[in-house]
Amino acid sequence: MNIAFFSDTYEPQKNGVVTAIKSQKKFLENYKNKVYLFIPYIPNSPLEENVYKLPSIVFPFQREHRLASPYSVKYDLLFKKLKIDLVHTHTPFSLGIFGWSQAKKRNLPLIHTFHTIFEEYAYYIWDHFPNIIKRKIIKEKRARDIATWISKTYCELCDLIIAPSTKVKKLLENYGVEKPIEVLPNGLDLKDFKPIDKKTARERRGLPLEGIILLFVGRLGKEKNITFLLKVTRWLKNNSKYPYYLVIVGDNPDKRVKEGLKREAEKYKIEDRVIFTGYLDYPQVIECYYSSDIFVFSSLTETQGMVVGEALVSGVPVIALEDLAIGDFIKNGENGFLIPNNIHSLEEFGRKIILLTENKDLYNAISQNAKKSAENLNSEKLNKKLLEIYEKLILDFKKEKKYA
């Protein structure tokens, strides 16, 4: 089978979409399929067979991203020679448009994975508009509505949508998307997670050898709600006797974001309890999981939250604000805790952390359950399901063409 992937992000960028694409590409190629990946030109991206880079510019509103040309004569001609069986897009934007146009032009089945709830990120574009435009012409709600319209319109152009979680399926149905939707989480390569002694992991990462480490992994952005975790850390410092440290793994190309979080930590008088690691390579991130005691997560904008899955694989109990995407694999009281998002969230979040600190039997039981539940995220199993979806769609597509 020859499959064309289209994505607006790839290495050396670090995010869940890149992780998912690499995992799927590796699996499909191991099963003797050909995967051709079309991406923007990204500085310092590695050379890789069958990866084609279109001219791009920096996306001005989020400078870590690139905006590629939605068309290339060179790759249009190449596409015809590749004898593609199916197109799988991982973006609705420029390269998603190129993927859609190739599928339509050559009468090929088109699958789209809905990786990102773009209405939750519309803020980043809207916030850069002059104040008079924000007040009089495009208010934030209008920007969110436009993002929703783009998402719905693109999905309706596809033959099948893959939703990484039940939350995304329900969201797309609420948008009015009528095309078939399959729920299929992005998987993790469990072989990447080789257990490391906690002390050794902390020494490698230069983290405190004493004390209890609360770990967050993710992009430093408004949508991740990191301020909530800083407030939890302050509450713990004021209401418990235990030395908690909040370790924040991740960054933002806009250095003002991290500086703002540091100022918040100072305001809350917890700067001595918050550690920013910046961007780390994946093996180093895994070391952070094994160095930590509890994984804490406060984002309410996830389509899946792969970092939560990574914590489970590592056997780290998870405490997260309640969200449908996270609820797909966190079972409250079994492999972690989900805290309702209300006026009592902060204190309840802190009390659950103290509970796991003081009750070793409960901690150990949840840790073991976390590892067991992570088997459901095995990329080998999930990617086999993806391959089955491909094969069925191609077969159905051929039948439709035959009787058209």
What confidence score (pLDDT) does residue 68 get?
86
What confidence score (pLDDT) does residue 367 get?
97
**In CATH, which of 3.30.565.10, 3.90.550.10, 3.40.50.2000, 3.40.50.2300 is domain 2-187+378-403?**
3.40.50.2000
Strand 294-297 versus strand 336-339 pairing type? unpaired
What confidence score (pLDDT) does residue 399 get?
80
Q: What is the DSSP letter of 192?
A: G
What residue ranges of the chain are covered by domains with CATH 3.40.50.2000?
2-187+378-403, 190-377
What confidence score (pLDDT) does residue 245 get?
98
pLDDT, tens digit, for every residue of 9-48? 998 888 889 999 999 999 999 999 999 999 999 888 888 9
What confidence score (pLDDT) does residue 15 get?
85
pLDDT, tens digit, for every residue of 117-165? 888 765 555 455 556 555 655 666 777 888 899 999 999 999 999 999 9
Q: What average pLDDT does this structure show over 289-295?
A: 98
What confidence score (pLDDT) does residue 126 get?
47
What confidence score (pLDDT) does residue 400 get?
76
159-163, 175-179, 291-295, 397-401: the lowest-pLDDT one: 397-401
Statement: residue 401 has pLDDT above 80: no
Statement: residue 176 has pLDDT above 50: yes
What confidence score (pLDDT) does residue 253 get?
82
Q: What average pLDDT does this structure show over 289-318?
A: 96
Buried b (16+ CB within 10 A) or exposed e, 246-264: bbbbbbbeeeebbebbeeb
CATH 3.40.50.2000, domain 190-377, yes or no = yes
Task: Give the number of other Cβ atoms within 10 Å of residue 354's Cβ.
Answer: 16
59-63, 213-217, 225-229, 322-326: the lowest-pLDDT one: 59-63
Are the beta carbons of 378 and 190 closer than 8 angstroms?
yes
Half-sphere CA count of 235, side-chain side, radius 13 A: 17
More confidently predicted of 128 and 8: 8
The DSSP-derived string for 225-237 is: THHHHHHHHHHHH
Buried b (16+ CB within 10 A) or exposed e, 193-211: beebeeeebbeebebeeee
Q: What average pLDDT does this structure show over 360-373?
A: 97
Record the pTM: 0.90
Q: Provide the angle, in degrees to the nearest 10, between the axes of the packed helices 226-239 and 345-358.
A: 60
Q: Which two tokens stand for residue 73?
A: 């004569």
Instruction: Output phi, psi for 325, to 5 deg.
Output: -65, -45
Task: Give the number of other Cβ atoms within 10 Å of residue 402's Cβ.
Answer: 7
What confidence score (pLDDT) does residue 61 get?
60
Task: Give the number of other Cβ atoms within 10 Å of residue 84's Cβ.
Answer: 19
pLDDT cut 90: percent of the chain above it: 79
286 contact partners, CB below 8 Å, separation of at least 6: 192, 193, 194, 310, 314
pLDDT, tens digit, for every residue of 64-95? 678 788 899 999 999 989 999 999 999 999 99
Average pLDDT over the chain, rounded to an integer: 91
Q: What average pLDDT does this structure show over 212-216?
A: 98
State how far the alpha carbon of 4 is from the alpha carbons of 22, 48, 60, 248, 273, in Å: 13, 15, 28, 36, 46
More confidently predicted of 345 and 47: 345
The CA distance from 11 to 289, in Å, is: 22
State how far the alpha carbon of 284 is from the alpha carbons of 10, 86, 193, 249, 281, in Å: 19, 35, 11, 10, 5
Are the beta carbons of 289 and 295 closer than 8 angstroms?
yes
What confidence score (pLDDT) does residue 141 get?
74
